[in-house]
Chain A
């Protein structure tokens, strides 16, 4: 669906992930929940695609299934044009080097018993890269510098770091293997307000410097607008609107996108006091089963019956 001349780096096609629905021992089956329902998108090299939606919309599951941290129920995942869906662990390993992930909680994602230097160097060891111990240490030191941490911190443990510093450690680990693609799942949500801009700028600098491609999952729409080239809006497992950032923010078409945008609090009392959020009743407005994404503008699509 992309008109971009560049071949996509990552594509997902008709991705579905259903939980439950298994047969019970004595007949019947558990209730099936379609967490991701027929989701398709491309991401071009060097592009940032933002994925937004309320909790339970399936945005995080989409990221996890895309990386095959969980197996998709159906659908395909393509990396540089190659279908990598359902590859065995050893077959998938070279792709794992290229595709990394950063999670929301910088406290829970670090290993408390490992120095942060060991933690950042671990992927190099797992993939048998980085040569000798000495060379690996040099590589880790340069990664620390790249994410704005003093290399002298390498010997320290996670509890000695603040939230923002911990997220820098996670980012250093994620870029250790020179990946091309990073899924960032709410990477600034758990950080203090005064630290969020630092991390957003770091994401931007790393993209400029290393040519990274991002899938940026977030619910903070003002940051999405700032950081992303294109945005996909998810509702109950489906993409209801996808398009260039400006088109989505300036000219939203789907009622849910409109409601979502109208609900962002604006840090200006003169504007905020007169803001009237639109109401969108999800239960009463679920997109019909046979709805498809139809073009409404340049690379801008809306889910319609």
Chain B
């Protein structure tokens, strides 16, 4: 079966007064129907920009899609007009963004905002839409849905607003739901509820999900496949257990190792990745993590490593590395 989404050699740049920002560099991957892909990375890794550019949500200019194809159900999204993209966004691909405080319109009722894509894409009447809105609010676990639907965003707590955002994201039964840092602004207890809700929704409606976050813990619990991005490139990707337990890229390894893991100061010292995030205005040559990588070789600085299957792991586990992380770790006696 053809994958639901196939990204081929996507490269995105921004022309800014400070120079060209190479935000996404030659990113390729595919996503099967029903799969949950967790994309991990820090600011500037290209994780959000690549998702937004797939559906024409970056401002052009300054943004510019340099090259690539994004096949969604076999159709190249990058070749579509804005009018055609209107039909894709919200209907076939749903979105949930980070900040539920600013993503909702404060002067419209919740009902109006959830109904908007339904009326637009399916031409539902006001009363049909109302029924569906109440259904959706119940689905995302908002009690007393019929009454709550007529309220305004300020009458909802942060967690409840994020549930509303998810209701909007899934309102048209999209084939793909893209959530960008959707729980980052929430308290951990509320985040836990939202993550439970997403797992539950996946069981009920089987949506394919791309979950973009910087939190390794969130990905560990939610994703089937994890994809680690850095400096606009995919550094490693694979089944979540393989990547977490047997990382093959030094950045993935460093990220996992720098977390406290229940350790205590005085007993253990946190491993710290040296250096600073890359300057994206520099021409992307070589492995973007090389300047911070204790295992980097001369080749890493001059030639970009391809994302290839790793040896001795499960199928689909790929890493971009010229060095052999396992051998390096064994040699230095450092354990992840």
Tell me, yes or no, whether A115 is within 8 Å of chain B by CB.
no
Find chain A residues with CB under 8 A from B221 CB. 265-266, 269, 272-273, 275
Closest-by-CB residue of A relative to B18 is A159
For the complex, count residues of A whose C-beta is within 8 A of B: 42
Tell me, yes or no, whether B286 is within 8 Å of chain A by CB.
no
Contact partner of B261 among A165, A198, A263, A267, CB < 8 A?
A267
Tell me, yes or no, whether A270 is within 8 Å of chain B by CB.
yes
Hey, what's the 0/1 contact readout for A263-305 against B, CB within 8 Å counting as 1? Answer: 1111111111101010110000000000000000000000000
Please determine whether B276 and A223 come into contact, CB atoms closer than 8 angstroms. Answer: no
Tell me, yes or no, whether A117 is within 8 Å of chain B by CB.
no
Find chain A residues with CB under 8 A from B255 CB. 193-194
Tell me, yes or no, whether B102 is within 8 Å of chain A by CB.
no
Please determine whether B193 and A279 come into contact, CB atoms closer than 8 angstroms. Answer: yes
For the complex, count residues of B whose C-beta is within 8 A of A: 44
Contact A269-B241, Cβ < 8 Å, known A193-B258, A260-B188, A263-B188: yes
How many whole Å from B158's CB to the nearest CB in chain A? 7
Please determine whether A225 and B260 come into contact, CB atoms closer than 8 angstroms. Answer: yes
Closest-by-CB residue of A relative to B266 is A204
Contact A267-B244, Cβ < 8 Å, known A225-B262, A226-B263, A272-B217: yes
Determine the main DSSP class of A at the interface with B: helix
Find chain A residues with CB under 8 A from B305 CB. none
Instruction: Give the residues from 168 to 215 in chain B that come closer than 8 angstroms, CB to CB, to chain A.
Output: 187-193, 195-196, 214-215
Hey, what's the 0/1 contact readout for A59-82 against B, CB within 8 Å counting as 1? Answer: 000000000000000000000000
Please determine whether B258 and A277 come into contact, CB atoms closer than 8 angstroms. Answer: no
Please determine whether A226 and B265 come into contact, CB atoms closer than 8 angstroms. Answer: yes
Contact A277-B189, Cβ < 8 Å, known A162-B276, A162-B277, A204-B265: yes
Contact A263-B264, Cβ < 8 Å, known A200-B270, A201-B270: no
Tell me, yes or no, whether A184 is within 8 Å of chain B by CB.
no
Please determine whether B265 and A227 come into contact, CB atoms closer than 8 angstroms. Answer: yes
| Complex Cα gap A12–B217 (Å) | 35
Contact A197-B272, Cβ < 8 Å, known A192-B42, A221-B188, A265-B215: yes
Hey, what's the 0/1 contact readout for B96-110 against A, CB within 8 Å counting as 1? Answer: 000000000000000
Taking A197-B271, A262-B192, A272-B220 as known contacts, 11 extra A-B pairs with beta carbons closer than 8 A to each other, sorted by chain A number, are A197-B258, A197-B273, A198-B272, A226-B264, A245-B264, A263-B191, A265-B221, A267-B220, A267-B259, A273-B220, A277-B193
Minimum-distance CB pairs A-B, first 7:
A265-B217, A272-B221, A277-B192, A192-B42, A226-B260, A197-B258, A54-B187
